[in-house]
Every structure is written in C-alpha cells, then in structure tokens.
Homo-oligomer: A and B are copies of this chain.
Amino acid sequence: MHPHSSPRPRTGPAVTLEMVAARAGVGRQTVSNAINSPELLRPQTLERVRHAIDELGYRPHRAAQALKTRASRLIGYGIRSSSTRVPTPVLDQFLHSLSEAADRAGYRVVLFAVAPGDDELTSYQQLLDEHGADGFVLSGTDRGDRRQGWLHERGVPFVAFGRTWSGKDVGDWVDVDGAAGTSAAVRHLAGLGHRRIGFLGWPKGSGVGDDRARGWQSAMRELGLPTRGRRVASPDDPEQATEAAEKLLATGATAVVAASDTLALGWYRALRRAGRGPGPEAAVIGFDDSPIAPLLFPSLSSLAQPLDAVGRTCMRLLLDRLGDRDRPTEHILLEPELVLRESV
C-alpha cells in the first residue's frame, strides 16, 4: 500500500532515477531509457517502469540533465535596463505566448537584465559562459543593433522578433508586416471615400517606422492619391504628436493612418483642440491595437499585431535551429489585422 492517490503531501526528499529503478526492479539506465527512448524497452518492462515513475512522482533533475547533455533547455530573453523609460506595450503578450510555446517543447524562458549601452553584449556573453541558456530571443531590434551579428559570429542560436534592417542575413527572424498593415488601412479608408489620407509617423530612420510609412505610400500611389505634404512625423510624445497632427489637419486631410496608437491619439487631441472629434470626416487608424483602443471615445480602429502567432513562430524557428544549426535561415512575415471601430 503506497500513498498513490495524494500527490505527495510535502516536498519530500528528491526522487532520483536510482529510486525509481529500485522500485521497478530494473537498472538505472533502463529508467532513463523509458523516458528518453521508450522504444528500446520491452513493452512489459516499459509498463512497469512507467508505473513506478508515476507512483513516485519522478521528474528528472534539470541541472543534472543539463550538466550531462550540455544543454540547459532554457531560452534567454534579455530585458533592457529600465533607464529607457518607455515600456514596450507589446512585451507582455509576446512573452506570454513565447513562454507557452517554450513550455510545450520542454523549454523555458529565462529573463536576464541587459546592461544599457556598450556593455549590452556582455550580458549575453555572461549567460552564455554560464551555460545558462541554449539560445536567445531578441526583440526591439533596430538599425545599428549589434546583437544579431555578434550572436551570428559566435554560432549562437537565436531568433529575432523584428527583421534585420541592415540587409545582411545573419539569422532567423519573425516580423509583422507593417507595410501590409498600413496599406490595408489606406485601402479601407479610400473605400470609404477618403482621398486626402495623411500619414502620422515617427521621424525617419527607425526601421519599423519607415516600413509602416512605406505601406501608406505605396497604397496611396496605387490608388493614384497624392502623398506630397501628407506625411508628418513626431516621436511618441503627446504634445509633439498633437502638433504634427495639427499640421495634417491644416492641409485638409480627412483621414489619417498613424504609426502607433500613441500617435493616433495626437489626432484625437488635435481635433479636440479644434472643437471637433474623430469620426467619418476625420477618420483615423492606429497601430498596435493597445488595450485602450476600444475604450476611447470614439473607440479607435487599429492594426493589431498577431503577437500570439509571433511568439509561437519565434519559438518554432528557434527550436528548429537548436535542432539543426546548419539549416538555412528562415524569415517569416505575419500580417497585422485591421480592427475596425468607431474612429472610421
């Protein structure tokens, strides 16, 4: 009579392979095989071993596995120092799906603080030296990001959320097709009859921002609509975004595609200052579909990034590369979804 039903009342003494082996009346290695290569065992033995495993609630000790197999089954995700005051609105859901996908494959995501500035890479170096991760997921990559090249040179598996803007192919990435998103937004607005459609973007030079601007531009061209003077730029700052939006208003724009929801709010503010509000005659579509988009008045239409899919895909590419470091690099572009609300 062993207490099988109750799942071990307390954190008992650790259960080891050896104990399971004794219980099942087999050798140590046989238990290991039952877990890692069950096809090697006679069905009858397998059954007996599995029963013993369940009975004792055995789980392999990860550190011991890691030591022997030289693989931690941990994926590193570097969190940049909080000195950069702006929190990625995106991080949350992305980490979530990343972590779930990792878990399903027997991996886990380990967070580590990244020193700001030039020492950034030493944080990666350290984790690597400690054998604290088998690979990395990068996000927030932008022009001039040295991480990809650095990891690539060293043959360290990684995947980036965000394409490599430098043009050189240094590794796998997954990205959201910002241009496709803003193009879709333009086409939708044009379908509603708008012709003076502006773009409220970030200053040139950021990969993500330029990509989103390009989508607006190409769709405008395709539709034969003029783009001159219809593009304004501002950083993600309330006051500056509002002023930029006011410039757009002054040119008589009746609709705007914004590079972020934050910028889209600049349009809201500009209209309010003019005693108006967003609506059919002053439509706006944002980007990111942040949680507050549906709460605004009027609620904000926006391009939702498929973050769950991005996370899952990142993990898939990374695990594939962990399995075969010499396979060709893979690049995946996912389409954002246009979520329509009252602001159009």
Q: Taking beta carbons and an 8 Å cutoff, which residues of A are in contact with B?
A: 7, 9-11, 14-15, 57-64, 66-67, 72, 74, 79, 81-82, 87-89, 91-93, 95-97, 99-100, 102-104, 108-113, 125-126, 128-132, 153-156, 238, 241, 261-262, 265-266, 268-269, 272-273, 277, 290-292, 294-297, 299, 308
Contacts and interface: CB of A to CB of B under 8 A. Distances in A.
Given A79-B96, A295-B265, A57 B129 contact: yes
A109 B294 CA distance: 33
Given A64-B67, A113-B100, A91 B89 contact: no
B63 A79 contact: no
A308 B112 contact: no
A292 B61 contact: no
A130 B62 contact: yes
Contacts of A66: 63, 66
14 contacts: A11-B128, A58-B129, A59-B126, A59-B129, A61-B131, A79-B99, A79-B100, A89-B92, A100-B113, A102-B113, A262-B295, A265-B297, A272-B277, A296-B296
Contacts of A290: 291-292
- Which 9 pairs from chain A and chain B are nearest by CB? A63-B66, A59-B129, A103-B113, A265-B295, A99-B111, A269-B297, A63-B67, A109-B111, A272-B297
Contacts of A297: 265, 268-269, 272-273
Contact of A62 (B97, B108, B109, B131): B131
A309 to B, nearest CB: 12
Contacts of A110: 74, 108-111
Contact of A96 (B82, B155, B266): B82
B82 A132 contact: no
Nearest to A90: B92
Given A59-B126, A81-B100, A238 B108 contact: no
Given A87-B93, A87-B96, A265-B292, A132 B108 contact: yes
Contact of A155 (B10, B15, B112, B295): B10
Given A67-B61, A99-B112, A113-B100, A82 B291 contact: no
